[in-house]
Amino acid sequence: MVADESTCYLDGNSLGRLPRASLRAVADVMEHEWGRDLIAGWDGWIDEAQHVGDLIGRAALGAAAGQVLAIDTTSANFYQLCAAALRARPGRSTVVSDAANFPTDRYILEGICRDRGLRLVLVDDFDGEGDVSLDRLASVLNDDVALVTLSVVQYRSGALHDVAGMTAAIQRHAALALWDASHAVGVVPLEFDRWGVDLAVGCTYKYGNSGPGAPAWLYVAAHHLDALQVPIQGWFAQADQFGMGPSFERAPGIRGFQVATPPIVGLRCVREGFRMIERAGIGAIAAKAARATAMMVSLHDAWLAPLGCTLVTPRDPARRGGHLTFHHPQAEQLSRAMRAANVIGDYRAPNQVRVACSPLATSYVEVWDGFARIRDLLSSGGHLRAAPPSSRVT
C-alpha–C-alpha distance, residues 61 and 235, integer Å: 27
| Contact status, residue 176 vs residue 141, Cβ threshold 8 Å | no
Known catalytic residues are: 102, 180, 205-206, 354
Closest CA to 194 of 19, 368, 57, 367: 57
Q: How many C-beta atoms surround the C-beta of residue 127 within 10 A?
A: 11
As beta bridge partners, residue 311 has 326
- How many residues comprise the chain? 394
Contact status, residue 145 vs residue 118, Cβ threshold 8 Å: no
Q: How far apart are CA 60 and CA 285, in angstroms?
A: 10
**Omega before residue 350 within 30° of 0, cis:** yes
SS (H, E, C) the chain: CCCCCCCEECCCCCCCCCCHHHHHHHHHHHHHHHHHHHHHHHHHHCCHHHHHHHHHHHHHHCCCCCCEEECCCHHHHHHHHHHHHHHCCCCCCEEEEECCCCHHHHHHHHHHHHHHCCEEEEECCCCCCCCCCHHHHHCCCCCCEEEEEEECECCCCCEECCHHHHHHHHHCCCCEEEEECCCCCCCCCCCHHHHCCCEEEECCCCCCCCCCCCCCEEEECHHHCCCCCCCCCCHHHECCHHHCCCCCCECCHHHHHCCCCCCHHHHHHHHHHHHHHHHHCHHHHHHHHHHHHHHHHHHHHHHHHHHCCEECCCCCHHHECCEEEEECCCHHHHHHHHHHCCEECEEECCCEEEEECCCCCCCHHHHHHHHHHHHHHHHHCHHHHCCCCCCCCC
